Amino acid sequence: MIAVAPDVRSVAERASERIAPTWPLDRFIAVNPLWGWRDERVPSVAARLASWSGTRLLMPRAWYRAAWRSGEIRPCDLRRALARGSSLRSEAQLVALLDTDTPTPCPRARVVDVLDAPPDPTRPQAWRDYVVQDISAFCAAWFDEGQAKVPPARDDGLYRAWWRRAAADRGPALRMGLDAWRALVRDLPDDPGQVLQTGFDALEIPAAEREAYATSLLLDVNGWAAWCAYRRWMARLDGRDDPVILELLAVRLAWEWLLYRSAGPGFPSRWRMAVATWAAADRRATREQADDWVWQAAAEFAYARHLEALLATPVASSPDAPEIHAVFCIDVRSEGLRRALEVQTPRVATLGFAGFFGLPISYTPVGTSVEIPQLPGLLVPRLRAEAEDAVVAVRRTRRLDAHATWAHLRGSAGSGFSFVEAFGPLYAARLLTDALGWTRPSQGTDRAGLTTAERARGRPRLADVPLEARQDLAAALLRGMSLTRGFGRLVLLVGHGSSSTNNPHASGLDCGACCGRSGEVNARLAADLLNDPDVRRGLAQRGLDVPDHTWFLSGLHDTTTDEVTLFDLDVLPLDHASDVQALTGWLTAASATIRAERSARLGLGGMSATALRDAVRARARDWAQVRPEWGLANQAAFLVAPRARTRGLDFGGRVFLHEYLWTGDPDFTTLDQILTAPLVVAQWINLQYYASTVDNLRYGSGNKALHNVVGGRIGVFEGNGGDLRIGLPLQSLHDGERWVHTPLRLHVVVDAPRDAIVRVLDRRETVRHLVENEWIHLSRFADHGGIECFQRGEWTR
């Protein structure tokens, strides 16, 4: 624990709470990188970030200009944005603004910046870059989770380890010409608390500016700060705390202090002058962006116009008594498949629900002892699931051990030479088979040590959950998806996962609600649970009558190939075989339809159905493929409504669809749940894509061709150093010619009474913040048709 006075502590804590966590690459779920700012209005957050870190949370003016000229943004959208915003400009002035250059953000100067001005041609690197690179290299080694074979010594804390290394580091002297470095470090306290306590005073930071200054220091190493925030997030889920982010702040502050001291007698006065310009930088940032935000809002209202028009068109009629319910994840990639499936037959009705199917589990794959969370990152696993098969378990353990031995020989310092000479030629064959897609360069959790046949055998089951609890889970699950009556013969629960290889960000394409894993396990467990006769009895006691002829079936939607696999057909009752057979046919047809729809965006247009299927399958196995699929790119809206409101409408894969029937939710607890959990998940995805698009340098991870995985799974560097990169790679957002994602804040349309929605806002601060501070646009289906928006506490058309 770091010992500091309460005032300094609260400054440091407030600064660190601004940093949102980043999940590691093996469970790379989407995070809103600005989550720590949700209690402030978006334009003011953007102004602060512009001033404190030089970021710009808007597209360049040329982008809005293109949208305006092409008619995508219409005058009515601009007027609507003007009416809502606080800009005093006229329409003509705003249009004229588009022809001007996008202003470059002009951030506050820190000590490093003052030292870099004017640039010193004798130094091969600016201090600003050197400091980030040095801290980042240190953090990579200290946080390493298993890339290096020599484990890091973490016993005395991040700051002390940094201090000890810095006191022996010849790098600053040799590379930057700072010969006094080691002596300066030794004069510095080796205790992070003391650095925080005295550093701000030593640098003469005014009390009112300390939080801003501390935040800007953390934003300078935003990637690593986000990793610290992740550690803290996980610790807090566990009821503990991990304040390592404060130590990171101490390291960055120590750098400022050391450079300040090293810079010679004239420096303090220069520094004071720089500090005096901070307020001006803040004002400039606010002034420069205010009008651009009107354009951003106009772009969002342009989409809202389309969406509202679409929702006003007549929908296809929903079947009264569907024989098959198919439940998909709310993920936008389900939208197209659902639409395509419903076109096949009126006998199927589809629903949307969070793809972890309400099971807060951690999962232990067969033959291992790891526990992998398979639930949204906001929640803690409360149940354990495992796959059991004694024979497979032993075989797998053996193979994994043999594999580990091989890796041990390959990776040991002194063994590499003999390894290469003895076994290197084998990799020529491997190069060929990997290139042809017959093998993959690596296997991962679900494949390693298992044959295809064995993979199918280890069937997951819930471990040690009492009957009562299982009955409660099942009831909550059905109520959550508003499927409480009218059961047909089959209910298909479809999870989703992606398939790509040699892709560090692969888990980001998997199910976010399953913590960056495929939804297979959750879907199979949920189906199992709901088929259990004991559970069915409990459901009946809870007022949910599931007829005996209803069978729950699980499946997986592969979002890369758009194929659906069905599971556990070996336990399917015989009298359901024909239903499943029909369903399989419809699913295959639906897959082909949606593949064809998506093919243009993948550059595979104009192929026959079979050729296209083979092409996407090959793509999924191609180790050079940096765009296996487009993931959730271009999502823009979140609909909480029954399918009857939307059946037959083509949302173009841009909408999250959550099933909700308010008439079946008398006390609105389900609505409350949807708006506090799935909505937040969707908002995280939305802002991740938004921020990665508008400022890929700070909130995206750059070029995949340069990615260099850090610490085994922590994240990536772009190239050989610089800050840890968070967010999405450029290749997930841009096809080389244009942005595939349009950065728009999420539109949320709810089908529920006004009061019910407002009550949730009153009760739930988080949702209220998102709405009031314009992180999302909230609207609802008005009582007599059309859509009404919630603005400044009022419902307006």
Partner 1 sequence: MMPAPVLTLAWLALAVPAVYAAGAVTRPRASFDPAAYAARTAAFLGLLTAGGWWVTARGTPVTLPGTVVLDGPACTMLVLVTSLAAAILNFSRTYLSGDPGFARFARWMLVTLASVTTLVLSGHLLVIASAWLLTGACLYRLLTFYPDRPRALVAAHKQFLVGRLGDLLIFAAFLGAGFLVGTFRIDRVGAAFATSPGLADALASLLVLGVCLKTAQVPAHGWLTQVMEAPTPVSALLHAGVVNLGGYVLIRLSPWLETAHTARTVLVAVGTATAVTGALVSVTRPTVKESLAWSTIAQMGFMLVECGLGAWHLALLHIVAHSAYKGHAFLGSGSAVEAWTTRALSPRAPGAGLARWALASAAAFLWVGLAGALWGFDPLRDPTLWAFGTILAVALTPLLVRAAAGGFGAGPALGLAGAATLVLFAWHDLLGRSEPAAATAPEPLARAGIVAIGFAALLVAQALLAAQPRGAIARALAGSLSSGLWLDDTFSRLAFRVWPPPPGAPAAIPALRLLDGREAP
Binders of partner 1 in range 132-191 (CB under 8 A): 133, 140-141, 143-153, 155, 164-165, 168-171, 174-175
The distance of closest approach from Cβ of residue 393 to partner 1 in the complex, given in angstroms and rounded to an integer, is 12
The stretch among 183-191, 565-573, 618-626, 744-752 that binds partner 1 (CB under 8 A) is 618-626
Tell me which residues in 243-272 interact with partner 1 (CB under 8 A): 270
Is residue 384 at the binding interface for partner 1, with CB under 8 A as the rule?
no
H helix and E strand count, the chain: 31, 18
Site for partner 1 in 511-570 (CB under 8 A): none
Q: Residue 51 CB, nearest distance to partner 1 (Å)? A: 9
Fill in the per-residue mask, 23 to 42: x = in contact with partner 1 (CB under 8 A), - = not in contact.
--xx----------------
Return the structure tokens found at 140: 């990579």
- The answer to whether residue 428 forms part of the interface with partner 1 (CB under 8 A) is yes
Distance CA 697, CA 187 (A): 35
The secondary structure of residue 336, as a DSSP letter, is H
In this structure, are residues 789 and 779 in contact, taking their beta carbons and an 8 Å threshold?
yes
Cβ within 8 Å of residue 593, ≥6 positions away: 340, 343
Q: Which of 86, 90, 93, 442 binds partner 1 (CB under 8 A)?
A: 442
Alpha carbon distance 727, 32 (integer Å): 9
Tell me which of 449, 458, 460, 480 binds partner 1, using CB under 8 A. Answer: 449
Q: How far apart are CA 220 and CA 18, in angstroms?
A: 13
Nearer to partner 1, 155 or 755 (CB): 155
Our CB check for partner 1 shows the closer of 35 and 363 to be: 363
Q: Which residues within the stretch 271-300 sit at the binding site for partner 1 (CB under 8 A)? A: 273-274, 277, 280-281
* DSSP annotation string for 174-221: HHH--TTHHHHHHHS-SSHHHHHHHHHHHTT--GGGHHHHHHHHHHHT
CB of 729 to partner 1, least distance (A): 11
Structure tokens at 661: 């029937």
Is 26 in contact with 516 (CB distance < 8 Å)? yes
- Cα separation, 738 vs 694, whole angstroms: 13
455 belongs to the binding site for partner 1 (CB under 8 A) = no
| Candidate ranges 74-82, 364-372, 524-532, 543-551; the one touching partner 1 (CB under 8 A) | 364-372
Distance CA 536, CA 320 (A): 24
- Retrieve residue 775's tokens: 């992180």
Whole-number Å distance between alpha carbons of 681 and 686: 9
Q: Which stretch binds partner 1 (CB under 8 A): 126-134, 527-535, 652-660, 672-680?
A: 126-134
When binding is defined by CB under 8 A, the residue of 86, 90, 93, 125 that contacts partner 1 is 125
* Only segment of 3-11, 465-473, 496-504, 585-593 that touches partner 1 (CB under 8 A): 496-504
Instruction: Report if residue 617 touches partner 1, rule: CB under 8 A.
Output: no
> Is 438 among the residues that bind partner 1 (CB under 8 A)?
no
Q: Which amino acid would we find at residue 145?
A: E
Number of residues engaging partner 1 in binding (CB under 8 A): 133
Q: Least distance (Å) from partner 1 to the CB of residue 184?
A: 18
CB under 8 A: which stretch of 216-224, 476-484, 591-599, 620-628 binds partner 1? Answer: 620-628
Q: Please list, in sequence order, all residues whose beta carbon lies within 8 angstroms of the beta carbon of residue 356, skipping any fewer than 6 positions away.
A: 374, 375, 376, 511, 513, 514, 519, 522
DSSP reduced 3-state for 350 = strand
Show contacts with partner 1 in window 625-654 (CB under 8 A): 625-627
Q: Is 711:145 a contact under the CB 8 Å cutoff?
A: yes
Q: How far is the CB of 309 from partner 1 (least distance, A)?
A: 33
Q: Are 315 and 648 in contact (CB under 8 A)?
A: yes
- Assess 95 for contact with partner 1 (CB under 8 A): no
Answer for which of 198, 502, 676, 766 binds partner 1 (CB under 8 A) is 502
DSSP lists the bridge partners of residue 729 as 702
Q: Which residue has the tokens 């006998």?
A: 347
With CB under 8 A as the contact rule, the residue among 39, 89, 360, 419 that binds partner 1 is 419
Q: Which stretch binds partner 1 (CB under 8 A): 91-99, 378-386, 437-445, 475-483?
A: 437-445
Find the binder of partner 1 among 391, 423, 549, 565 (CB under 8 A): 423
Alpha-carbon span 564 to 556, nearest angstrom: 5
Beta-bridged to residue 494, according to DSSP, are 555
Q: Which stretch binds partner 1 (CB under 8 A): 85-93, 248-256, 257-265, 497-505?
A: 497-505
DSSP letters spanning 116-141: HSS--TTSSS-HHHHHHHHHHHHHHH
Single-letter amino acid, residue 797: R
Q: Does 795 bind partner 1 (CB under 8 A)?
A: no
Nearer to partner 1, 141 or 315 (CB): 141
- Residue type for position 437: G
58 closest CA partner among 410, 188, 49: 49
Which of residues 85, 365, 377, 631 is near partner 1 by CB under 8 A? Answer: 365
The answer to whether 17 contacts partner 1 (rule: CB under 8 A) is: no
* Chain residues 760-789 in contact with partner 1, contact rule CB under 8 A: none
For the chain, the straight-line distance linking the first and the last C-alpha, in angstroms and rounded, comes to: 53
101 counts as binding partner 1 under rule CB under 8 A: no
By CB under 8 A, residue 234 contacts partner 1: no
Is residue 20 within 8 Å of residue 31, measured between CB atoms?
Answer: yes
Q: How far apart are CA 214 and CA 521, in angstroms?
A: 43
Can you tell me which of 415, 565, 578, 669 binds partner 1, judged by CB under 8 A? 415
For partner 1, the binding residue among 40, 120, 389, 472 (CB under 8 A) is 120
Q: How far is CA 311 from CA 358, 635, 648, 750, 751, in A?
A: 29, 16, 11, 12, 12
For the bound state, the minimum distance from the C-beta of residue 129 to partner 1, rounded and expressed in Å, comes to 7
Window 712 to 731, contacts with partner 1 (CB under 8 A): 712-713, 717, 719-722, 731
Q: Where in 664-723 is the site for partner 1 (CB under 8 A)?
A: 703-713, 717, 719-722
Residue of 79, 287, 430, 549 interacting with partner 1 (CB under 8 A): 430
Structural contact between residues 779 and 747, judged by C-beta atoms closer than 8 angstroms: yes
- Closest CB to partner 1 among residues 123, 768: 123
Considering only the stretches 111-119, 249-257, 605-613, 653-661, report the one whose residues sit in contact with partner 1 under the rule CB under 8 A.
111-119
CA distance 454 to 676: 39
